[in-house]
Amino acid sequence: MAEKVLVRRLDPTPATLVASATRPAGVGVEIEPGQWLIDGDARPLDATLVLDMRDAYVGFAVTGDEADALLAQGMALDFARLAPDFAGRAKLGEIAVLIDRWPGGWRVRCERSYAEWLAGWFARAAALMSSTGGI
Amino acid sequence: MSGYRLKPVEPDARVTVRFDGRDFEARRGESLAATLLAAGETTVARSFKYHRPRGIVAHGAHEPNALVQTKDGMALATQLDAREGLDARAVNCWPGPRFDLAGVLDRFGALLPAGFPYKTFMGPGGRAWPFFERVIRALAGLGTLPTQTRPLRIEKRHAHCELLIVGAGEAGRAAAAQARRPGLRTILADDGACPDFGHVTSLGHTTVLARHEGGLFLALERAPHPGLDARLWKIRAGAAVLATGAVERPLVFAGNDRPGVMLLSAILAYARRDFVAAGRRVLIACNNDEGYDGALALAEAGVGIVGIVDMRLGAGGPARARLERSGVPIHEGMAIGAARGVPVAGARLVRLDGTDATRDVACDAIAMAGGHTPLVHLHSHAGGPLAYAGDAAAFLPAGAHEGAWSAGAANGRGLAAAADGARAARLALGGPAEPEIPLSPAGGLLARWESPPAPGADKAFVDFGSDVTAADIRLAAREGYDGVELLKRYTATGMALDQGRTSNMNALDVLARARGLSPDRAGTTTFRPPFLPVPFAAFADPGGPLWKPSRVTPLTAWHETRGAKMYESGANWRRPGYYPRAGETLDAACARECAAVREAAGIYDSSPLGKFEVAGPDAGAFLDFVYATRLSDLKPGRGRYALQLHEDGRLFDDGIVFRLAPERFFVTTTTGNADACLQRFSYCRQVLRPDLRVVVASVTEQWADLVLCGPRARDVLAAAAIDPPRDLPFMGIAGIELAGRPALVARAGFTGEMSFEMFVPASSAPAIWDRLLSAGAAFGIAPVGSEANHVLRIEKGFISVGHEGDGIAGPDDLGLGFAVHADKPDFVGRAALMRDRADPAPRPQLVGLLARDPAFVLPEGAAVLRADAAVGRGFVTASCASGALGRSLALALIEDGRALIGRDVAVAIDGGIAGAHVVRPAFYDPQGARQRG
């Protein structure tokens, strides 16, 4: 039986900030016009700036049938209408996060300093939830 | 009034509730109001100002009187569900609602007119007011805050839909029936039960509280499931149908507030939904045909009708003949001049043709049918315009507004609600234009609500909740408070429990007539969210560690483990204030940490500092534009103290900018302004200087910042086998490898001692921190908190943007003119700074203060006065006890402060004045020899 919702803190993995005139290849979240955070440590040749950012963000996987409903407690995104390859910046509760697709749900990344607070937020949100589905 | 049940309570639905210490039999789920009415318990409240006895007026959320107290707080008796164990009591009365000692105030009504606190109790000299203010405050207020300690469990949830329908009445249901397009998401929300349509999401027991711009609605769902008290929905709707209905309008006559006087629609609702009759002999007063229709409906439900008082002549529609045939007296061309008895036992009727004839009618309940006030609040919340419709005698939405279509009674089409609701839904979903449905106000409405008073009559109220009478409105108009917004504030009409839903139109009518205006010229007040009262908990966090975001550094766990007292600092960060040893006070710990820095070595966690990389061929030119300081001529490997200014030329932020490579800079900003700096960098890059080839990236979170400082700092580094270049100069920076990863080491700090600032990857920070502490143990190293940092920087006269950067002080005022390169052609704030420099007006200037008593620490924020007069000249920005100098020190911003150097000033302290001597703002090593090394 599928979990209603599961929030799991992800192990640190390499992440690289790439500033470039064109979108770099691979999975990436545009964090500012012309700047992407990409998984891995690729160094595109045409980049203006490449920075190791593996320590800057902490990721959480939010998966399960009620992943959208859990996130809807703090995010104004219209999850049902997001593109299949959606990835972007958004606000969760009071903080800025990066969100992109993840197998079975979403990956939410916050700045490292907010990770403990966000973990607490997820725990409380899960505790408040008992109805099924979002709107 | 002698209410009773039209149908006995089913045994399996029987519960016992308690009101004011007495038990009542109730039907589970009915409102407490229904229970009390059924028991003939007429007087359930006392009024706000006069403490007059009051009863239930309405059914549902629009009740203006019956506020009761429970252990969970206050609630309307009309909205409180009866359940076993419910215990409520009346508010604003003692010992109870039927006899209230403060009821004597009603006899002094002449002393309590509109605006009475200002004109009755403020005598010449104002000596009496402090006494009366205490008395008035003691008498004011209604219930008490909840006694429960359990925080409400309220979930917040965002939702999206293409169509939101507010109200599941006739219009709302018809609108929902139209919303059958595949893929269409429709939400139907209603304050009460909500029908299940299958193709819509029904939110029952959900009050839509507010409509904001962009189709954002706030709605509160009550008790969505066991264990959850409420859910606050934030609904973004592509379009909306506002089928919010209307509230019946009361009539204005003497004693219209007495227990037993109710809205006809409420009496009908109690009879039909709760099987409760409000009385055995109901007298109906009306100005439209609904009085007759309602009489028939009540009679059919088994409620006795003793007559109809109609302001009109020859009206009543088809229902009139049926009522007359059944012997119900019709008193036409008449109105109630006064209600008699408490609770109501009868009414004196007066003729409206100017004759003096009166007629007395015995009754135990009076039903008021004055037409309807459309609930246009949601339409108005987001700025939807209203227009007065004379036929309906009401303000109605002037068409659709930003995707929201009003429908049904809320749109003045109560008698054609279904058709109007369906039309609104079709239009909201993008259908072609359709002709408007004609207005359908209450049949034969006569635009008259106020009766001429019977001789010797009682007060006639327009607002029961705020105790505002028609006479108050006229008095306010005479006294010049004759605009609706002024009137509202002067009399408080519309500001009580029901927020004017039952009172506003009558208040406006009285005002308009007093001024000789038509109601549309008098205007209406502004409707503001929320539509109904909302628990604060719906918006606020319940508290605890999640009440607001907090940020931790990679070393926070270390600090906490070592017993550091953690402080909240800028931008949600938590930082160590000091590290007390066993039995050590703050002052002692701070002095010990300062001494370690001045005499040996200290280390502090400066990770929250804002950190940015700026790169590109035009990076130097970009920084020259953003900063007042020239940075494009920095050599690689060197840094410079730099200032950012506001557009008005005043200090915005400071920090050190390092050049790592010809096209790459490393920028530090203050902690509190880090986010604002990022926004400013982005704005300058994208909007003001898009011509420059530059990128800016925040690396605040990637890099931890460990600062090692003190005369033994270099020894500690050596012992820790950390080897920055031996020739690294003051304000130099170099890349090194630490714990196997690249890092940066800079010769900079904030304490005035030899300092090494190490920017290391966040995940490496704990290991490097431990390494430095272990290596430094032999040299007397101490971890240092923000308390000690504060002292050390005051000793040096270094500014802190959070203290000395008060938004008024400019760089010259703070003695930082050296960091402004005004010869640059342009930078943010330059024009305003040049204007400041050309202006001879005196400016606040940063100086040092030495208290006359060296043991006395001047309070931060204290006013600095001229020595010869109690005139403010400035204030103390920062102050401390300096162990290094053996005395107290302070920094202050004082008007023309530099001219006062060498002179004395006075500082206002609690209970008197402290003398202080003005000096230059650099107390310790003013030449900076120690930090340069």
Q: Convert the pLDDT of each residue in A10-62 to its tens digit.
A: 999 999 999 988 888 777 899 988 899 999 988 887 888 999 999 999 999 99
Burial (CB count <10 Å: 0-12, 13-18, 19+), residue A46: exposed
Q: Note the residue count of chain A.
A: 135
Assess contact for B33 and B55: CB atoms under 8 A. no
The SS3 call for residue B268 is: helix
- Chain A nearest-CA residue for B156: A73
Assess contact for B877 and B793: CB atoms under 8 A. no
Supply the mean pLDDT for chain B: 94
Grade residue B139 by pLDDT with cuts at 50, 70 and 90: confident
Q: What ipTM, to 2 d.p.?
A: 0.95
Confirm or reject contact between B161 and chain A (CB < 8 A).
yes
Say whether A135 and B201 touch across the interface (CB within 8 A). yes
- Chain A nearest-CA residue for B228: A128
- The answer to whether residue B642 scores a pLDDT higher than 90 is yes
pLDDT, tens digit (0-9, with 9 covering 90-100), for B328-342:
999 999 999 999 999
Say whether A112 and B545 touch across the interface (CB within 8 A). no
Grade residue A134 by pLDDT with cuts at 50, 70 and 90: very low
* CA distance linking residue B170 with residue B622, whole number of Å: 63
**CA distances for B877 relative to B551, B661, B699, B802, B906, angstroms:** 27, 38, 31, 9, 15
Residue type, A89: R
Cis check: omega of the bond before B530, within 30 degrees of 0: yes
Among B227, B553, B697, select the one facing A51 at the smallest CB separation.
Answer: B697
Cis check: omega of the bond before B95, within 30 degrees of 0: yes
* CA distance linking residue B339 with residue B388, whole number of Å: 31
Confirm or reject contact between A112 and chain B (CB < 8 A).
yes
Grade residue B107 by pLDDT with cuts at 50, 70 and 90: confident
Assess contact for B619 and B694: CB atoms under 8 A. yes
- Domain limits of chain B? 1-150, 154-246+373-428, 277-368, 448-522, 578-608+702-792, 610-698, 842-933
**CA distances for A51 relative to A37, B450, B674, angstroms:** 9, 76, 19
Residue B114: per-residue pLDDT: 84
Residue B797: per-residue pLDDT: 97
Say whether B616 and A81 touch across the interface (CB within 8 A). no
pLDDT, tens digit (0-9, with 9 covering 90-100), for A54-93:
999 999 999 999 999 999 999 999 999 999 999 999 999 9
- Which residues of chain A lie closer than 8 angstroms to B693, CB-CB? 48
pTM of the model: 0.89
The contacts found for B867-876 with CB under 8 angstroms, 24 or more apart, are B867/B903, B867/B904, B867/B905, B867/B906, B867/B915, B870/B908, B873/B905, B874/B844, B876/B849, B876/B907
Count CA atoms closer than 13 A to B87's CA, side-chain side: 4
Mean pLDDT of all residues in A105-113: 97
Q: Which of B135-149, B440-454, B783-797 has the lowest mean pLDDT?
A: B135-149
Nearest alpha carbon to residue B801 among B673, B891, B920: B673
The SS3 call for residue B593 is: helix
Give the CA-trace dihedral at A115, A120, A123, A126, to 10 degrees.
-90
Say whether A135 and B187 touch across the interface (CB within 8 A). yes
Confirm or reject contact between A33 and chain B (CB < 8 A).
yes
Mean pLDDT of all residues in B259-284: 97
**CA distances for B100 relative to B90, B93, B149, angstroms:** 11, 5, 30
- Which residues of chain B lie closer than 8 angstroms to A55, CB-CB? 701-703, 761-764
Residue A4: per-residue pLDDT: 87
Nearest alpha carbon to residue A6 among A88, A133, A106, A110: A106
- Chain B nearest-CA residue for A75: B158
Locate B521 and state its tokens. Answer: 């010229």
Say whether B573 and A113 touch across the interface (CB within 8 A). yes
Residue B147: per-residue pLDDT: 67
The superfamily (CATH) of domain B578-608+702-792 is Probable tRNA modification gtpase trme; domain 1 (3.30.1360.120)
- Which residues of chain B lie closer than 8 angstroms to A76, CB-CB? 158, 234, 236
Nearest alpha carbon to residue B460 among B291, B335, B308, B332: B335
Locate B21 and state its tokens. Answer: 């210490």
Q: CATH number for B154-246+373-428: choose from 3.50.50.60, 3.40.50.10490, 3.40.50.1100, 3.90.550.10.
A: 3.50.50.60
Confirm or reject contact between B687 and chain A (CB < 8 A).
no
Say whether B762 and A35 touch across the interface (CB within 8 A). no
Say whether A117 and B546 touch across the interface (CB within 8 A). yes
Assess contact for B854 and B882: CB atoms under 8 A. no
Grade residue B561 by pLDDT with cuts at 50, 70 and 90: very high
Report phi then psi at B571, rounded to 5: 55, 35
Residue A135: per-residue pLDDT: 46
Say whether B548 and A76 touch across the interface (CB within 8 A). no
- Give the other-Cβ count within 10 Å of B526's Cβ: 11
Q: Residue B202 contacts by C-beta under 8 Å, 6 or more apart in sequence?
A: B168, B187, B188, B189, B190, B194, B195, B196
- The answer to whether residue A113 scores a pLDDT higher than 60 is yes
Confirm or reject contact between A36 and chain B (CB < 8 A).
no
Say whether A72 and B546 touch across the interface (CB within 8 A). no
Confirm or reject contact between B635 and chain A (CB < 8 A).
no
Locate B352 and state its tokens. Answer: 């409206």
Mean pLDDT of all residues in B71-91: 92
CB contacts < 8 A (A, B): 114
* CA distance linking residue B875 with residue B120, whole number of Å: 41
Count CA atoms closer than 13 A to B711's CA, side-chain side: 8
The alpha-carbon gap from A99 to the nearest alpha carbon of chain B, in Å, equals: 16
The SS3 call for residue A113 is: helix
Q: Residue B573 contacts by C-beta under 8 Å, 6 or more apart in sequence?
A: A113, B550, B551, B552, B553, B608, B671
Assess contact for A13 and A57: CB atoms under 8 A. no
pLDDT, tens digit (0-9, with 9 covering 90-100), for B339-377:
999 999 999 999 999 888 899 999 999 999 999 999 999
Say whether A111 and B234 touch across the interface (CB within 8 A). no
Residue B869: per-residue pLDDT: 57
Equal CATH topology for B154-246+373-428 and B578-608+702-792: no
**CA distances for B252 relative to B336, B462, B637, B661, angstroms:** 9, 6, 83, 82
- The answer to whether residue B550 scores a pLDDT higher than 90 is yes
Helices B317-325 and B290-301: crossing angle, nearest 10°? 40
- Which residues of chain A lie closer than 8 angstroms to B548, CB-CB? 94
Residue A18: per-residue pLDDT: 94
Residue type, B881: A
Locate B668 and state its tokens. Answer: 């530090």
- Chain A nearest-CA residue for B548: A94
- The answer to whether residue B125 scores a pLDDT higher than 70 is no
* CA distance linking residue A65 with residue A48, whole number of Å: 41
Mean pLDDT of all residues in B233-258: 97
- Class level of CATH domain B448-522: mainly alpha
* CA distance linking residue A133 with residue A65, whole number of Å: 7
Assess contact for B58 and B74: CB atoms under 8 A. no
Burial B759-774 (b: 16+ CB within 10 A, else e): bbbbbbbbebbebbbe
Residue B127: per-residue pLDDT: 73
Say whether A75 and B554 touch across the interface (CB within 8 A). no
- The answer to whether residue B578 scores a pLDDT higher than 50 is yes
- Class level of CATH domain B610-698: alpha beta
- Class level of CATH domain B1-150: alpha beta
Q: By percentage, how much of chain B surpasses pLDDT 90?
A: 84
Assess contact for B409 and B171: CB atoms under 8 A. yes
Q: Residue A36 contacts by C-beta under 8 Å, 6 or more apart in sequence?
A: A17, A18, A20, A23, A24, A28, A29, A30
* CA distance linking residue B665 with residue B622, whole number of Å: 11
Residue A1: per-residue pLDDT: 44
Mean pLDDT of all residues in B399-412: 97
- The answer to whether residue B872 scores a pLDDT higher than 70 is no
Locate B201 and state its tokens. Answer: 């999401």
- The answer to whether residue B543 scores a pLDDT higher than 80 is no
* CA distance linking residue B157 with residue B136, whole number of Å: 42
Residue B174: per-residue pLDDT: 97
The alpha-carbon gap from A42 to the nearest alpha carbon of chain B, in Å, equals: 17
CA quadruple B407, B408, B410, B413: dihedral sign: positive
Mean pLDDT of all residues in B595-605: 98
Confirm or reject contact between A128 and chain B (CB < 8 A).
yes
Nearest alpha carbon to residue B339 among B55, B118, B626: B55
Count, in order, helices (H) and strands (E) of chain A. Answer: 2, 9
- Chain B nearest-CA residue for A95: B549
Report phi then psi at B224, rounded to 5: -65, -30
Say whether A33 and B552 touch across the interface (CB within 8 A). no
pLDDT, tens digit (0-9, with 9 covering 90-100), for B652-682:
999 999 999 999 999 999 999 999 999 999 9
Assess contact for B33 and B269: CB atoms under 8 A. no
Residue B124: per-residue pLDDT: 64
- Which residues of chain A lie closer than 8 angstroms to B701, CB-CB? 55-57, 111-113
Assess contact for A37 and A15: CB atoms under 8 A. yes
pLDDT, tens digit (0-9, with 9 covering 90-100), for B696-755:
999 999 999 999 999 999 999 999 999 999 899 999 999 999 989 999 999 998 999 999
* CA distance linking residue B580 with residue B586, whole number of Å: 7
Residue A132: per-residue pLDDT: 41
Grade residue B19 by pLDDT with cuts at 50, 70 and 90: very high
The verdict on domain B277-368 having CATH code 3.50.50.60 is yes
Q: CATH number for B842-933: choose from 3.60.15.10, 3.40.50.1000, 2.40.50.140, 2.40.30.110.
A: 2.40.30.110
Q: Which is more confidently placed, B869 or B86?
A: B86
- Chain A nearest-CA residue for B693: A48
Mean pLDDT of all residues in B191-196: 88
Confirm or reject contact between B840 and chain A (CB < 8 A).
no
What is the 8-class DSSP label of residue B684? I
Confirm or reject contact between A114 and chain B (CB < 8 A).
yes
Assess contact for B320 and B339: CB atoms under 8 A. no
- Helix %, strand %, coil % of chain B (to 5): 25, 30, 45
Among A19, A113, A121, select the one facing B552 at the smallest CB separation.
Answer: A113
**CA distances for A29 relative to A19, A52, A99, B682, B711, angstroms:** 12, 15, 8, 17, 46
Residue type, B137: R
**CA distances for B930 relative to B602, B755, B773, B900, angstroms:** 15, 10, 22, 29
Q: Which of A10-24, B115-129, B901-915 has the lowest mean pLDDT?
A: B115-129
Q: Which is more confidently placed, B109 or B287?
A: B287
Q: Residue B811 contacts by C-beta under 8 Å, 6 or more apart in sequence?
A: B628, B643, B645, B651, B817, B819, B820, B833
Residue B126: per-residue pLDDT: 66
* CA distance linking residue B567 with residue B579, whole number of Å: 12
Nearest alpha carbon to residue B665 among B624, B620, B633, B627: B620
Grade residue B870 by pLDDT with cuts at 50, 70 and 90: low
Among B228, B695, B762, select the one facing A34 at the smallest CB separation.
Answer: B695
Among A51, A55, A78, select the one facing B763 at the smallest CB separation.
Answer: A55
- Chain B nearest-CA residue for A79: B160
Burial B698-734 (b: 16+ CB within 10 A, else e): bbbbbbbbbbbbbbbbbbbbebbebebeeebebbbbb
- Which residues of chain A lie closer than 8 angstroms to B158, CB-CB? 72-77
